[in-house]
Each structure stands twice: as structure tokens, then as C-alpha cells.
Structure 1
Amino acid sequence: MHVCVLGAGIIGLSTAYELTQRGHQVTVIDRAAPAAGASGGNGAQLSYSYVQPLADPSIWAQLPKLLFSPSSALKIKPQWDTRQWVWVWQFLQACNTEQSPKTTAELLTLAAQSRQVFDAMRERENMHCDFSASGKLVLFRNEATFAAARQQMLLQKQLGGQAQLAVSASEACAIEPALAHQQNDFSGAIYTDSECAADCKQVCEALAQILTARGAALRWGQAFRQWVPKGDRLAAVQLDPGEEVSADAFVLCTGHTAPALAAPLGVRLPVYPLKGYSITVATDGTGLAPKVNITDSARKIVFARLGQRLRAAGMVELVGQDASVQSRRIQTLQQATQALFPDCSRYTDIQPWAGMRPATPTGLPIIGHQGGPRNLFINAGQGALGFTLAFGSAVQLADALG
């Protein structure tokens, strides 16, 4: 079968890879280069065991601070777009004690599958992507949030998640000595020794090379113009400046732009962009850089070691399609990184980035046929867990395709 995959981020390329593994002919189309969007500078953590969805009941108590605090990690800029308001309303509806555990269970299952597939692929392809398996510490700055985290940890254990430990501040500093000067500033942490990190952009670039070697057609720099339907199926996709690419099946993996591409076909996707930021700094040997992945739960910032670099990422902005890099947000990330790890870098070379993470209200991705033409399939909506869930999502999509 010839399958046309639209989108060359980690979701699209992992999907294309899985399809070639099953013997399908594949064409990948993207208006830009691989990982040019949300995959290019994401948080780099592979959070297989700590998958608490953003839509959580605790959001209700946090809303006043999240909405009105100048230092809040959340920013909402109202748009003349009903999709934004519908998404926010559906998200708040999902912040309940029934939906959150259900979402957690499904995400844990998908994450476990993704870990297995990604590990096997890396070994099979001898892939170099600054991968590490040094574990993860989620820091909590007060006892109330730490207690809630321990409850979430117990839930994830009951649902079959990897072993996690609730550790004191001093125990966390023993696990990661780079935190020693911060010991008095947090109450405790959740430690998962099996968590990993990798450079998502490097993974995407490696997948593109592998696909090329397998004979896949990779079409970069060609923008989508329109679908070419035929009866109850799609015959082709038309690109600028008018060229058509025909296929037996089409998989939409274009992240936050997927709803706009699916809408003309009568398919409604509850996916909205959650803008995030990151900085990458060189760990130049002048001081102490963390080896363990760190999540500062209060600041909503994650830190991941990538070889001789440190990636810091965070923020959630609902600002429509504005993908510009805001200097104030980058400054916040730099200040938070220097406060937590003052000696890990000279902080003279800071690489800023912003990306649009495609999220559903519940946090569950949309995978498979969702109506419309019989040969149209969707793989989108992984949100901030896109890298973590990519390879499991690819397997599920390939299964749905048959």
C-alpha cells in the first residue's frame, strides 16, 4: 500500500518509519524541514512513567494564580476564534476525578508501548541522539503539592506504571548533587530511575535519513493546497504550485494545523496549540550540570541533559497561531535555569526556541480514522508528550490502517 504522511515532526516521521517496517510504500510531505515545528526544541524528556495529564482536578484550585499572577506559567490571550473558547471549555470539563485517572491509565499504556518500540528502533538502527537513561526528579516546593504528587504516584503504580519513589529534599540532592544548594527550597520529590531523555530533532533527522535509505519519498518545502477527493475516498493531495501526490491512504500528522486541514473534509478535531518555549545552553565544564532529568513543578519547567548541553523548557500559552519567540519568556527560562543550576554553564550562548504543542482537552491523542473519507487517518494531539508517545502512537496508527 502507498501511504502519504503529511507532517515531518516526530509524530509523522515515527509513523512513516513504522509503516515502512510493515512493508508499505511511504511519501512524507512537509512545508518545512524535519522537526521544524514543535519537535525542534521540545523539553527532550521521555516521561514514560510520569504522565499526569494537564487536565487534572487540581487545576480548579490553581486557576486564580495561573490566570492572574504575573509570574504564571500559563498565559491566555483571547482570540476571535470560537475554537479557542470551545477547547478551554472542554478542557475545564475534563478536569474532574473521573476523566483524569482514565486519561492517566491510557497514557501509561501508550507510553509503555512507545518506550519498547523506541528502544528497539534505536538499537536496531544504531541511532545517535544524545540519549540518556539517568532518571527523573519532579521537585515540589511545598508539602501540599508534594502530598498530591504522592497520591498521583500511587495511582500510577496501581495502573501499572514503573516504580517511583517519594524522596525527601536531602535524598533528592543525593540523587542529583547539582541541586544541593536548593535543598531548603523544596519539600521533596518524586524519583523515577527509569526515565530518559534524547534530542528529538536528532531523532527526526535520523529517521529522515533511514526513510530515504529505504526508498521513501520525502517532499520538503511543499505546502498543502487542497485535497483531491474521489467518491468516499481521497485520490490525492494537491501541493503548491499545483502538483498532485496520489496514494492509497493519507495520514494527517501536522500537529496544531491538523484541524484546519481536516475541516474541509467534514472532520472536526479538538486540537489546539499550546505554545511552549525552550532554551539550550552549553554545559561547558566550568561547573556542575545535572545528569538526572529535573522537573520544577512550581515553575512548570523541565530540564534535560543532552550530551554537553542542557535543555530547559516550559510555559503554556493559548495565544492562537502566534509562534514568535517572546524575549520575556526566554528571560524567565534563563533566570529559572540559572537559579536552579548557577554553575552548570557560563550562559553566554543561549539558543531560544518556541513551538506549538498540539493538545486535546483531555490530553489523549487522536489516532486512527475519525470520519470523513474512508482512507483518511489522523495521528495528532499528543500535546507536551509528543516525543514520549510518538512511537506507540505510530504502532496504533499502523494497526488502524491495517
Structure 2
Amino acid sequence: MHVCVMGAGIIGLSTAYELTQRGHRVTVVDRTAPAAGASGGNGAQLSYSYVQPLADPGIWAQLPKLLLSPSSALKIRPQWDTRQWMWVWQFLRACNAQQSQHTTSQLLILAAQSRAVFDALRERENIDCDFAASGKLVLFRSEASFAAARQQMGLQQQLGGAAQQAVTASEACAIEPALVHQREPFSGAIYTESECAADCKQVCEALAQILISRGVTLRLGQDIQRWVRSGENVRAIGLANGDEISADAFVLCTGHTAAALAASAGVHLPVYPLKGYSITVATDGQGLAPQVSITDSARKIVFARLGQRLRAAGMVELVGQDARVQTRQIETLQQATQALFPDCSRYTDIQPWAGMRPATPTGLPIIGRQATGPGNLFINAGQGALGFTLAFGSAVQLANALS
């Protein structure tokens, strides 16, 4: 079967790879280069065991501070866009214990599958991506937030998650000595020894080269503008330059733009962009740079070591399609990084980035054929901030659905 995969981020490329492994002929189309979107500078953590969705019951108590505080990690800039308001309404409806538990359960299953597939792929293809099985510490600033985290840890372990342990601040500093030098106290942490980190952009670039070497056609720099229908199915996609790409099946993996493309084919996707930022700094060979991945839960910022670099990423902004890098947010990330790891870098060479993470209100991705729309159109979108973590499991589920 000839399959056209739309999107060359980590979701699209992992999907193309899985379909190629199963013997399908694949064409990949994207308006930009591989990993030019949300995959290019993400948080780098492979969070297989800590998958708590953003839509959590605890969001209600935090909502006033999150919306009104100038230093809030969550910002909403209202748009003249009904999709934004609908997404926010559905998100708030999902902030309940029953939905959060269901989402957590499903994400743990998908993440475990993704870990197994990515581990096998790295060994098979010998991909160089600064991969490290370094473990992760999630820091909590207050006793109340630490208590809630211990409760969530218990839930995840009941659902089959990996072994985790609650540790005191001093125990966390023993696990990651770089934390000793931070300027702010914290109450405790959740430690997951099995968590990993890697450079998603490097993985995407390696996958693109592997696919090309196996005969996959990559049509990059091509903007998809229309569907060419034939009865109940899609016969081809039309590009901005007038070309058409015909295929037997089409897989939509274009991240935050998937909703608009799907809508033009009669498919409603509750996917909206959650803008995030990152900085990458050279560790300058400093011994005081962290080896263990760190998440500062209060600031909603994650830190991951990538070889001789440190990536700091975070924030959630609902600002429509505005992908500009805002100086204030980059400064916030730098200040947070220097507060936590003051001596890990000279902080003279900072690489800023912003990306649009495609999220569903519940946090569960949308994978497979939908009830409406063309019969040969499949969706793989909505992984949100867990795109890298869930990519390879999502690819397997999509390939199963297509088969």
C-alpha cells in the first residue's frame, strides 16, 4: 500500500518509519524541514512513567494564580477564535478525578509501548541522539503539592507504572548533587530511576536519513492546500505549487495545524496549540551541571542534560498561532535555570526556541480513522507536551489501525 504521511516532526517520521518496517511504500510531505516545529527544541525528557495530564483536578485550586499572576506558567490570551474557547471549556470539564485517572492509565500503556519500540529502534539503527537513561527528579516546593504528588505516584503504581519513590530534599540532593547549589528550598521530590532523555531533533534528522536510504520520498518545503476527493475517499492532496500526491491512504501528523486540515476534510479534531519555550546552554564542561533530568513542578519547567548541553523548557500559553519567541519568557527560563543550577554554565551562549505543542483537552492523543470524513484518512495528533515520549507507541497504534 502507498501511504502519504503528512508531517515531518517526531510523530510523522516515527509513523513513516513504522509503516516502512511493515512493507508499505511511504511518501512524507511537510512545509518545512524535519523537526522544524514542536520537535525541534522540546524538553528532551522521555517521561515514560510520569504522565500526569495537564487536565487534573488540582487545576481548579491553582486557576486564579495561574491566570492572574505575572509569573504564571500558564497564560491565556483570548482570541477571536471559537476553537480556543471550546478547547478551554472542554479542558476544564476534563479536570476531574475520573477523567484524570483514565487519561493517566491510557498514557502509561502508550508510553510503555513507546519505550520498548524506541529502545529497539535505537539499537537496530544505532541512532546518535545524546540518549541517557539518567532518571528523573520532580521537585515540589510546598508540602501540599508534595502530598498530592505522592498520591499521584500511588495511583500510577496501581496502574502498572514503573517503580518510583518519594524522597526528601536532602535525599534528592544526594541523587543529583548539582541541586545542592540551588538558591530556593523545596519540600521533597518524586524520583523515577528508569526515566530517560534524548535530543528529539537529532532523532528526527536520523529518521529522515534512514527513510531516504530505504526509498521513502520526502517532499519538504511543500505546503498542503487541499484534498482531492474520489467518492468517500481522498485520492490525492494538492500542494501550493500545483502538484498532487496520490496515495492509497493518508496519515495526518501535522501537529497544531492538523485541526484546520482535518476540518477541511470534514473531520473535527479537538487539537489546539499550547505554546512552549526552551533554552539550550553549553555546560562548559562544568561538573556542577545535572546528570539527572529535573522537573520544577511549581514553575512547570523541565531540565534535561544532552551531552555537553542543558535544555530547559516549559510554560503553557494559549495564544493562537503566535509562534514568536518572546524575550520575557526566555529571560524567565534563564533566571529559573540559574536559580536551580547557578554554576552549571557561564550562560553566555543561550539558544532560545518556541514551539506549538498540539494538545487535546484531556491529554489523550487522537490515533486512527475517525467516524466522519474520508475512509482512507487517518489521524495521529494531539500528543501535547508528551509528543517525544509517545511518538513510537503512537506510530505502532496508527499502523495497526491502518492495517
Q: Would you say the 8 A contact 1:367–1:378 is kept in 2?
A: yes
Which whole-Å deviations, capped at 9, do the CAs of 1:82-132 have from their partners, x for residues lacking one? 000000000000000110000000000000000000000000001100000
- Alpha carbons 1:167, 1:188 under 8 Å: kept: yes
Alignment length, in residue pairs? 402
Aligned partners of 2:283, 2:151: CA distance in 1, in Å?
Answer: 35
Secondary structure in 1 matching 2:353 = strand
How do residues 1-400 of structure 1 correspond to structure 2 at under 5 angstroms? 1-182=1-182, 185-370=185-370, 371-400=372-401
> Alpha-carbon deviations, 1:315-356, whole Å to 9, x = none?
000000000000000000000000100110000000000000
CA distance in 2, matches of 1:184, 1:395: 43
| In structure 1, C-alpha distance between the alignment counterparts of 2:165 and 2:328, rounded to whole Å | 35
The Cα of 1:265 is off from its aligned counterpart by: 1.4
TM-score (norm 2): 0.99
Question: Which amino acid in the other structure matches residue 391 of structure 1?
Answer: F
Q: CA offsets per residue over residues 295-323 of structure 1, 9 Å max, x none?
A: 00001000000000000000000000000
Task: Tell me how far 1:285 sits from its aligned partner.
Answer: 1.9
Distance 1:27 1:180 in 2: 50
Distance 1:279 1:182 in 2: 18
Unmatched 5+ stretches in structure 1: none
Looking at structure 1, the residues matched to 157 and 284 of structure 2 have their Cα atoms a distance apart, in angstroms, of 38
Contact in 1 for aligned 2:11/2:387 (Cα 8 Å):
yes
Classify the secondary structure of the residue corresponding to 1:265: coil
* CA distance in structure 1 between the aligned counterparts of 2:29 and 2:72, rounded to whole angstroms: 37
d(CA) in 1 for partners of 2:275, 2:182:
29
| One-letter amino acid of the structure 1 residue matched with residue 148 of structure 2 | A
| SS of residue matched to 2:322 | coil
Given the superposition, is the C-alpha separation of residues 49 and 183 from structure 1 closer, same or farther in structure 2, using an over 3 Å criterion?
farther
Q: Distance between the aligned counterparts of 1:273 and 1:222, measured in 2?
A: 21
Distance, in Å, in 1 between the alignment partners of 2:396 and 2:199 is 21
Q: TM-score, normalised by structure 1?
A: 0.99
CA distance in 2, matches of 1:130, 1:45: 12
Distance 1:216 1:286 in 2: 42
**Secondary structure at the counterpart of residue 185 of structure 1:** coil
SS at match of 1:276: strand
Deviation at 1:183, TM superposition (A): 8.4
Structure 1 residue ranges (4+ consecutive) displaced by more than 4 angstroms after TM superposition? none
The 1:184–1:236 alpha-carbon spacing in structure 2 relative to 1, beyond 3 Å, is: closer
Letter in 2 for 1:173: C
Query: How far apart in 2 are the matches of 1:163 and 1:205?
Result: 32
SS in 1 for 2:150: helix
The unaligned stretches of length 5 or more in structure 2 are: none
Aligned AA (1:53): P
Q: CA deviation at 1:184?
A: 6.6
Contact 2:140 2:297 in 1 (8 A): yes
SS of 1:238's equivalent in the other structure is strand
Measured after TM superposition, the shift of residue 181 of structure 1 is 2.6
| Cα pair 1:134 1:194 within 8 Å, conserved | yes
RMSD over aligned Cα atoms: 0.8
Percent of aligned positions with the same letter in both sequences?
Answer: 83
Q: For residues 97 and 286 of structure 1, what CA distance do their matches in structure 2 show?
A: 43
Superposition deviation, residue 287 in structure 1: 4.8
- In structure 1, what is the Cα distance between the partners aligned to 2:241 and 2:184? 60
* Counterpart contact for 2:182–2:342, Cα < 8 Å: no
Secondary structure, in 3 states, of the residue corresponding to 2:121? helix
CA contact (8 A) 1:330 1:352 kept: yes
In structure 2, C-alpha distance between the alignment counterparts of 1:286 and 1:35, rounded to whole Å:
29
Cα deviation, 1:247-302, whole Å, max 9, x if unaligned, reads 00000000000010011111000000000000000010245100000000001000
Q: Deviations over 1:213-268 (max 9, x none)?
A: 11000011011111100000010001121100000000000000001001111100
Matched to 2:343, the amino acid is D
Write the letter of the residue equivalent to 1:105: S
Distance in 2 of aligned mates of 1:184 and 1:201: 32
1:362-393 CA-to-partner distances (Å, cap 9, x unmatched) read 00000000121000000000000000000000
